[in-house]
């Protein structure tokens, strides 16, 4: 049986994942506005990933017989000065999300809630990838900013990203 404290914390995380989705969707529209369709496509895929993260938590709550409390999602920012600013902020955001996931794991461990702890390990691994993806793109932008046409090349590279939901049970 999941404790109330654990259920409240997961409900909060569901909200945080949907906020992440909104944040990245807003970043995607700003990148469209900067005429960087490949960067925007990458962010749209990131939006889909965040919705998946939220839904995976929601499904786990349902499976464990817990009530899901959907809350207001805060409005994300709409303006950034450059793609570098966007990806730096995305990386910082992911660092914060990692801390939130770590706190959830701590709560599950304190509760001796082995099922939730096991379930959360997927998110622990996912956060390694989330931080790596955003920091790698941030660093590539720094590299190519020195070269004419560099952003254009990077835009082409990022356009290739597609969303593939992990197999059921993954
Ligand atoms: Fe859901 O990992 Fe990003 O925020």
CATH number for 81: 1.20.1260.10
CB 53 less than 6 A from any atom of ligand 1: yes
Instruction: Give tens-digit pLDDT for 92-127.
Output: 999 999 999 999 999 999 999 999 999 999 999 999
Instruction: For residue range 75-98, list pLDDT tens digits in order.
Output: 999 999 999 999 999 999 999 999
The pTM of this model reads: 0.95
Tokens for 105, please give them: 């794991």
129 within a domain of the structure (yes/no): yes
163 falls within a domain: no
Say if ligand 1 is within 6 A of residue 17 CB.
Answer: yes
Residue with tokens 């914060």: 96
Residue 28 near residue 43, CB atoms below 8 Å: yes
Domain boundaries, position 117: 4-158
Instruction: Report the number of distinct structural domains present in the chain.
Output: 1
Q: How many angstroms does the Cα of residue 38 sit away from the middle of ligand 1?
A: 20
Let me know if residue 169 belongs to a domain.
Answer: no
Distance of CA 97 from the midpoint of ligand 1 (Å): 6
71: left (phi over 0), alpha (psi -120 to 50) or beta: beta
Cβ atoms of 68 and 11 within 8 Å: the answer is yes
- Cα(147) to ligand 1 centroid in Å equals 31
């Amino acid at each position: 049986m999941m404790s109330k404290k654990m259920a409240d914390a997961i409900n909060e995380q569901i909200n945080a994942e949907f906020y992440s989705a909104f944040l990245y969707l807003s970043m995607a529209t700003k990148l469209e506005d900067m005429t960087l369709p490949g960067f925007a496509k990458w962010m749209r895929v990131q939006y889909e990933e965040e919705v998946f993260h939220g839904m995976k938590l929601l499904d786990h709550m349902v499976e464990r017989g817990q009530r899901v409390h959907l809350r207001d999602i805060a409005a994300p920012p709409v303006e950034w000065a450059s793609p570098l600013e966007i990806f730096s902020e995305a990386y910082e955001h992911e660092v914060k999300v990692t801390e939130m996931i770590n706190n959830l794991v701590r709560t599950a461990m304190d509760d001796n809630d082995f099922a939730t702890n096991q379930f959360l390990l997927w998110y622990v691994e996912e956060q390694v990838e989330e931080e790596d993806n955003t920091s790698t793109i941030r660093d590539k932008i720094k590299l190519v900013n020195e070269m004419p046409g560099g952003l254009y090349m990077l835009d082409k590279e990022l356009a290739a990203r597609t969303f593939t939901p992990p197999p059921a049970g993954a």
